[in-house]
Structure 1
Amino acid sequence: MNTPVEAWERYAAKASTRRAVNAAGASTWLNWTQHPDHGPDESILGEVRDKRVIELGCGAGANLAHLATLGAHCVGVDIVPGRVATATQTWGHLPNLEFVAADALEHLAAHPGHYDIVYSIFGAVWFTPPDTLLPLAWAALVPGGLLAFSHLPASGPPRADRVITKYDLTIDEWTATLSAHGFGRTTCEIIASPEAAADRRGTLLVRARRAS
């Protein structure tokens, strides 16, 4: 059977290794878009030092590792054990950083009121029904906690005939759906692609706070 885990394992096998340093010469960094050295950095999360942070769909762990170097207490969850093994091997030496092979929904359900920040970069928020994920994300956050995520802008309704379904809602749809599940202070924006990029679709970036 072609399961989501198997599909993600095939995707991971084709993934390229992240550069050792970025254009600025940094060995760790956070990038919200599909373009290297482009778009906002971790500052949109606010102060992360001493915050409890989880990344849903952490992949090889590079983005989360950067937050750990800034003093955050970090957990990365990914459904593919091989990705978690790679992340642990690469970044496991950093303090306050743990990678877990698990379903994002199950992990959130097991940690009510635990996280200050829940985020996803082209990760689990994009591939999970919002009406299923958002209540669990809300419950896993402390009051006033931040949910942030990015994915490609909406390209059409979800395709139920696929093993992996993308829930790339529009800005209006995300705003309404987040509000319906107890989130407020929502900001949504499309980050334009670099002019020289072959992929000009841009990136949707969303931030919302759990209401107290």
Structure 2
Amino acid sequence: MPLTSKSLPEYWDTYKPHSGDGMPPAPVVDSFEWTQYPGHGPGADFLGRPRTALELGSAEGREAVWLARTGVEVTALDLSPAQTARARLWWEGTPGLSFVNAEACEYLADTSTTYDAVYSRWGAVWFTDPERLVPLIGRRLNPGGVLALSQAEPIEGFYGPQAMYGNGLSGRRLPVLRWSYSPEMWRDLLKRSGLTEIEASVLPAPEPENVGTLMVRAKAPAKPAVPRRRR
């Protein structure tokens, strides 16, 4: 199979597969986690206080559910039909929460909706060329809106798109790409995309020798004040 994004839906359809009969129980939602280590790092406050939010790569939907339960109107987007269908079955009826099955760039290019926050927790931003994705996100942020993301820290000196076998090292070939950028590269990209108040750094793991978490946050420019007319 050629190395293209077309293999991504199949990868995510089989992500965290369930063995056994019937639908697995919904996961417990008692926190908003950005890192791979429970209870480590910031919570939902990393997003500020949005009234509306778009998650790119919502998977099981836990963070989207947590936000919706606090009163945020959340659109949870995922590329995988299987992940989206499962999340809908689990969380159907949650006020203020909707699930969308779509590719991130296509959705952002087609929608006219804007958001107070767009976020990706180890989600679509990691698996999409940020040079394409970030400018599209910027157009869909309200003035002062927040872009926030987390993913694994990059391996020093190895940046850009990186190939991996999505289903491990056995079985049918399922190549996918992840984009690994340094904090400095993220700051440059976000600045070029017109975002402001940029923060990008690696949050060390609780055990310093373990893999840390890349944390990135930026804002859309605030709406300029309308000058008063002189009388």
Q: Is the 8 A contact 1:57 1:124 kept in 2?
A: yes
- Partner amino acid for 1:179? K
What is the one-letter code of the residue matched to 2:81?
P
Q: CA deviation at 1:188?
A: 1.5
Asked whether the equivalents of residues 163 and 178 of structure 2 are also in contact (C-alpha less than 8 Å), the reply is no
Q: Residue 15 of structure 2 corresponds to which residue in structure 1?
A: 11
When residues 19 and 89 of structure 1 are mapped into structure 2, their CA distance, relative to the original with a 3 A threshold, is: closer
For the 8 Å contact 1:53–1:116, the answer to whether it is kept is yes
CA distance in 2 between counterparts of 1:174 and 1:87 reads: 31
Query: For 1:19 and 1:95, how far apart are their aligned partners in 2?
Result: 18
Q: 2:191 aligns with which of 179, 185, 190?
A: 179
Using structure 2 for the length normalisation, give the TM-score. 0.80
The whole-number CA distance in structure 2 between the counterparts of 1:160 and 1:39 is 28
The aligned counterpart of 1:69 is: 69
Determine the C-alpha separation between the residues in 1 that align with 2:55 and 2:62: 11
1:14-163 counterparts in 2 under 5 A?
19-20=27-28, 27-48=29-50, 51-112=51-112, 114-155=114-155, 156-157=158-159, 158-159=161-162, 163=175
Q: Which has the larger radius of gyration?
A: 2
Offset at residue 9 of structure 1 (A)? 1.7
- TM-score (norm. length: structure 1): 0.87
RMSD, aligned α-carbons:
2.3
How does 1:184-199 map onto structure 2 within 5 Å?
184-195=196-207
Q: Indicate the SS of the match to 1:54.
A: strand
User: What is aligned with 1:24?
Assistant: none
1:14 positional shift: 6.3
Contact 2:56–2:123, Cα closer than 8 Å, also in 1 = yes
For 1:205 and 1:71, the matched residues in 2 are separated by 24
Deviations 1:89-110 (A, max 9, x none): 1112210100011111111112
| Contact map agreement 1:129 1:167 (CA 8 A) in 2 | yes
Deviates more, 1:162-171 or 1:175-184: 162-171
Q: Could you say what secondary structure the match of 2:154 adopts?
A: coil
Q: Percent identity?
A: 34
Deviation by residue 1:181-210 (Cα, 9 ceiling, x = unmatched)? 111100112222122x9x811101100011
Structure 2 counterpart of 1:87, one-letter code: A
Kindly indicate whether the alpha-carbon contact (under 8 Å) linking 2:122 and 2:151 is maintained by their aligned counterparts in 1. yes
Q: What are the ranges of 5 or more consecutive residues in structure 2 without an aligned counterpart?
A: 166-174, 223-231
**Does the Cα contact within 8 Å between 1:12 and 1:83 map onto a contact in 2?**
no
Name the structure 2 match of 1:23. none
Which residue in 2 is equivalent to 1:164? 176
Cα distance in 2 between the residues matched to 1:33 and 1:115: 23
Given the alignment, which residue of 209, 218, 222 partners 1:208?
A: 218
Q: Which runs of 5+ in 1 are unaligned?
A: 21-26
Aligned residues: 202
Take 2:125 and 2:14, find their aligned partners in 1: how far apart are those partners?
A: 20
Q: Give the counterpart letter for 2:47 in structure 1.
A: L
